[in-house]
Structure formats: structure tokens, C-alpha cells
Amino acid sequence: MHTSKDNPFGILIYHRVAPHVEGVAAPTWNVTPDRLGRQLSGLMSRGYRPWPLRRAIECRRSGEAVPARTFVVTFDDGYDNVYHNAWPVLKELSIPATVFVATAYLDGRRPFAFDDWPAAGSDEVPDVAWKPLSTAHCSEMIESGLIEVGSHTHTHADLRGRPGIFRRDLVRSMEVLHDRLGLSDVSFAFPFGYFGSEMVAVTREVGAKCALTAEPKVVAPRDDPFAWGRFNVGRHDTAATLTLKLNGWYSMLRGVWRRLRPSSERRKAAAFQ
Ligand SMILES: [Zn+2]
């Protein structure tokens, strides 16, 4: 059937999935496992259906329609708590997801250099709250068929304006994914969501399957998979607020808000994205 109307869909970004530890500042970029379960099961009960990223790309490439209320789940950076805390929730709800891994940290025993949570690496919290994924845990999730692993570059450095270094870093990560996990034809997400036309061109040249940003907008029918936007999910998000994001309301309101704000505030807010 090619007659049904194509629909926009939304892609969600999670990072860390860890419980809070009493007496310690709440983890940054975090959604607790309980909250993750309530967000995703709430979306399902509202009629939203999760698709693997691969399927969304294939569907758009073949010109077939994406059904209304489709969404895609992604995790950036590659925290081991995705394996320990998110994967059980995803299995229980049969929700596919893509994990974008900064491959230099794979099997590492230190926190990500870009982890801005002061407790990361300290004895105050269990190491699963900040530790990077291992190759073994990635393999196990991939073998389940529910989880895809993609590239988030090798070093997760801010390489805006340095396309040559960006290219080497991205190629290195694709080599690691190939050598350790047997992956080829991998999807890609920009670290920090930073991108530009030069960087997008590099992702195409090196043969990534797509390049996802962190621009909070829905994927419209003719949008290029080399600049698909995604919505960050916060610890206060509920299924209800996520439906606003997935429906495009959030992008619209954000556009209005941006136009109304003085430019100094706009710059301040941009620094936190
Ligand atoms: Zn990242």
C-alpha cells in the first residue's frame, strides 16, 4: 500500500539512565529507570508505536508512508547503564532503540571526559551511573535484535570547523564498531548535536547511514536523513510532555519563544544546548 498519507515522526534522545543516590546531586543528562518506563509505556498506551531507526530510514528511502504516532528511541554517548537500567525496560515493552557510542570510551574504566556530573567517577555513587559500555554488553544487546549500535564519533570532541579531523575521528569510530562488533552500514549522531553543512557532507562521504542532530524538531516527510532532528528527553518529561514534542508542538512554541526573547538571553540559552 503506497496510498496512505505520510506522517512526520519524532526521535527521542536519552543519555544516562540511573537511579538517584541520596545525598548526592542528581545526575545530569539523566532519566531514572522508573521514569523511563513510565514515559515509554505512557506513550504506548497513547497509541504511539516505536520503530527501529533502521526501519524509519528504509521507509523514507523507499517512499513508503510512516504511520501516524510513530517514534524512534535513541541513547547517546554509550553509558553502561543503558545495558543495566534501560535495556530491561526496553525488553519488557518490546521497544527497539539505537545506542550511539563514543567508541574511544568503549570498555573504558573512567568517566567520559565530557560527563559534567561532579559525582561521576567518585566513590559516592555506583560506577554503573557513569561507566561507559563494554563490548560484551553491546554484543549482547545487538544479538537480542532489539538494539542497534551506531557511531557518536570516536572521541566525542567538539570538531566544528575542523572537517578533516572530524572525518578521521568518525572513520576511526566506524573501524572500531566494525572490528569489535562486526558492524558495517552504521547510523551516526553528532556529539553535542553540533553540525554544519561541512560536517554533514563528511558523514555522507564516509558512508554513514544517516546523521542525526539534536535540533528539537520532528522529521517531516521529505527531510534528509543526514540532518534529522531529535528531542532531548529530560528527567521531568512525562508521556504527556513527550507527546507534545512528538507532535511538533514543542518546536512551534520554541520558535515563538525565541522570537520574543532578547538576544542576550538567546545566547545564554544556546550555550546550554
Ligand atoms: Zn553525546
Q: How far is the CA of 3 from the centre of ligand 1 (A)?
A: 38
pLDDT tens column, 101-115: 999 999 999 999 999
CA of 191 to the centre of ligand 1 (A): 4
**How far is 35 from 28, CA to CA, in rounded Å?**
15
Which contiguous run of DSSP H or E holds residue 138?
helix 135-143
Higher pLDDT, 270 or 71: 71
CA-based max dimension of the chain: 58
pLDDT at 124 over 70: yes
How many Cα atoms are found within 13 Å in the side-chain-facing hemisphere of 153? Answer: 23
State the pLDDT at residue 262: 64
Q: What is the pLDDT of residue 266?
A: 55
pTM of the predicted model over 0.85:
yes
Domains along the chain? 10-270 (3.20.20.370)
Amino acid at the residue 219: V
Nearest-CA neighbor of 54 among 147, 124, 129?
147
How much of the chain exceeds pLDDT 90, in percent? 86
How far is 13 from 234, CA to CA, in rounded Å?
Answer: 9
Is residue 1 predicted with pLDDT exceeding 80?
no
Distance from the alpha carbon of residue 194 to the mean position of ligand 1, in angstroms: 10
From the list 68, 75, 20, the residue with the least C-alpha distance to 48 is: 68
Q: What is the pLDDT of residue 2?
A: 47
Tell me the CA–centroid distance for residue 268 and ligand 1, in Å: 20
Beta bridge partners of 219: 9
CB 186 within 8 A of CB 151: yes
Report how far ligand 1's centroid is from the alpha carbon of 237 (Å): 19
Residues 191-231 have pLDDT tens digits of: 998 889 999 999 999 999 999 999 999 999 989 999 999 99
In the block, which residue shows the cell 557510542? 101
Mean pLDDT, all residues of the chain: 93
Q: What is the pLDDT of residue 227?
A: 94
- The more confident residue out of 248 and 165 is 165
How remote is the CA of residue 112 from the centroid of ligand 1, in Å? 10
Q: Which three cell numbers stand for residue 256?
A: 515563538
Cell of 141: 544487546
The rounded distance, in Å, linking the Cα atoms of 199 and 193 is 11
Residues 107, 109, 115, 121, Cα dihedral to 10°: 160
Kindly give the distance from the C-alpha atom of residue 157 to the centroid of ligand 1, in angstroms, as a whole number.
9
Q: Which three cell numbers stand for residue 17?
A: 539512565
- pLDDT at residue number 272: 43
Count of Cβ atoms closer than 10 Å to residue 238 Cβ: 13
The residue among 74, 68, 35, 33 whose CA lies nearest residue 49 is: 68
For range 120-136, the mean pLDDT: 97
156 alpha carbon – ligand 1 mean position (Å): 7
Residue 242 above 70 pLDDT? yes
Closest C-alpha among 243, 246, 256, 268 to residue 11: 246
Is a pLDDT exceeding 60 seen at residue 271? no
